[in-house]
Structure formats: C-alpha cells, structure tokens
Amino acid sequence: MAQDRIQASNVTPGNVSTQRVKLSSGYEIPQVALGVYKAPNDGTTEQAVKWAFDCGYRHIDSAARYRNEEAVGRALKEWTAANNVPREEIFITTKLWDDDHKNAQEAIEESLRKLQLSYIDLHLIHSPEPGEQSFIDAWKQMEAAVDAGKIRSIGVSNFDVDHLDALLKVARIKPVVNQIESHPFFAHEKLREETLKRGIHIEAYSPMAQGAALDREEIKAIATKHGKTPAQVLLRWGIQVGNIVLPKSLTKHRIEANAQLFDFELDSNDMDVLNNIDEGMKMGKLGPPGTSAPASPGATRPGSRRTSGSSGLAGNQLQMSSS
C-alpha cells in the first residue's frame, strides 16, 4: 500500500468559486483554474473563458508563450462588466517566457497591456532555461514589479529541486508555487514532496494526463462508483493531494464538468488505487524528468514511486508531446 502523499496545508473547503489555497504571499488562489494552453487568440478562447466564469471558475492560467493573453483580457473585461463582478474576484496567472528573462520588466508591462489589467495576480517564470543566472536576474525584476504593485504573487514553473534551492538562496520574495506536470500516472511525487517541504505549493498542469488514460478500467471503476467521469476522478485526486489543478478545455460541457469536483470525495481505497498507478507517463516536454520508473512493455505496473523502490529519468524513456 502506498504511503500517504504530503498534502498542501491551508486549503479552505468550498466549491469551484470558493475553494482556495493560502499562498505564502498572503493571497488566496482558487484551487481549480481553466488552463488555456494552445488556445487561439480569438473568440474561441474568449467564449471558453466566459463559460468558465459562468459556471464558477475564478482562476485563468495563461502565459506570454501561449500568445492568447489578449483573448483572456477581452473576456475578463467583457464578462466582469456584463455581470457586475469586481475584477478583484478573478485570479489571473501568466508567465514569463525564457527569452524574456533579461527584459522581464518590459515583458510584464506587455502582459499587463494585453490582459488589460493594472496588476497580475500571479506571475511565473515559465521554465528555468537558459540557466541559473538568467532566472535569478528575472526574479529580481519580478520582485521589483511586486514592490510596484504590478504583480501580487510570483512563482516558478518546471523547476527542479536544484533550481528551487538556487533561487531560494537569493530570493527576497519567496516563490509561492511551482507549476509542474502531476497526475496519478506521473505524480512527480519526489519533486512534490521537496517543493512542499520548502513551503511552496504545487500547481499541476496536464492533471488528466491529457486524456491519455481515461479509459483505464481502474479509473472507470472509481468513476462508476461515484457517478462521476474518469476525468473528474483524476481531477479530484489532484484536489485531495493538495495540488492546484489546471484542466484545459475549450468545450462548454467539459469546462462545466471539470468544475464539478466538490460534491464527492475519493475514499481511502480509491486513493490507494490512484496512488499506485504511477508508471512515469510524462506527457510534456518541459519540466524535470521525474523519479517514477515506467513499466516495461508487458510488465506489471510498478505502483507508486515509494512502493516500487525505483527511480530514474522516466520521462526521457517515453514519447512526449509539447506542454
């Protein structure tokens, strides 16, 4: 049986509108966000963001690299005006791309302009590339933007433990999150543990393994038991281990379904099953390779990192799509 995973603390129960996690900056972040990776910079994304707001989402996760900040900004401006919702009730995340580390201040101003905002709720370094001095220089500029009131919280994405420790040695403002790939088939558990031990929350992208494992019999059995979908089961796992989850969809019924995570709870048997199906199924190219060993063709699944006793660069042994 897998040991219990380390969970984030300071989670306030609620629904998709109110379920929030307290960050070290003092601000609270909604635990479920609509991710807009690969979403076009047009009305399609604007409509998806508005649907998300309609069904209760209060957190949108974008990035300069996604090239859709304008669409997110238009949707936010139009929806809040039409529904008389204060901007302060919405949490907007965007990210600094690798090429902009030297010019982070200018990149932040550009994101603010595209999003039509006076401040960004959470700004992340998208990845530690091209290296330590580069992301440290960027971090100092992001800290200055916090001082200037242009950003409320700052964090990182795709950072490994060594990257985190290098940053923590010099950071005046501590990163509030590390956004990494995490789902039951690639929990990234060692990195999760080490990140949480440093007082930094986990944001999980690809929380449904990009749909690659929704037909697994063990997932379908848990879904049937609770009258839920396999996708909702995987997202609920993320909620219960304390991740901030970032499901992505441009389809109305899926956006709505991905918000319906707070009217059921996975029991200890469900969690034991889900905690023992980690097979190193890393979907994304970005980020540390992880410590979970994938199953060999025809072999039984090794279970969780802790019970298998295995380690290695699982992600490098699997076919990966972009992330």
Residue 112: strand, helix, or coil: helix
Are the beta carbons of 160 and 135 closer than 8 angstroms?
no
> Per the annotation, does 126 bind a ligand?
yes
φ, ψ of residue 218 in degrees (nearest 5):
-70, -30
Annotated active-site residue 205? The verdict is: no
Distance CA 120, CA 115 (A): 9
CA angle 52, 43, 249 (to 5 degrees): 40
Count other C-beta atoms under 10 Å from residue 293's C-beta. 19
- Residue-by-residue DSSP string for 41-94: SSHHHHHHHHHHHHTT--EEE--GGGT-HHHHHHHHHHHHHHHT--GGG-EEEE
Q: Find the catalytic residue in 37, 57, 66, 119.
A: 66
φ, ψ of residue 156 in degrees (nearest 5):
-135, 170
Tokens linked to 123? 């700004």
| Binding-site residue ranges for substrate | 126
Annotated binding site: 126
Active-site amino acid positions: 66
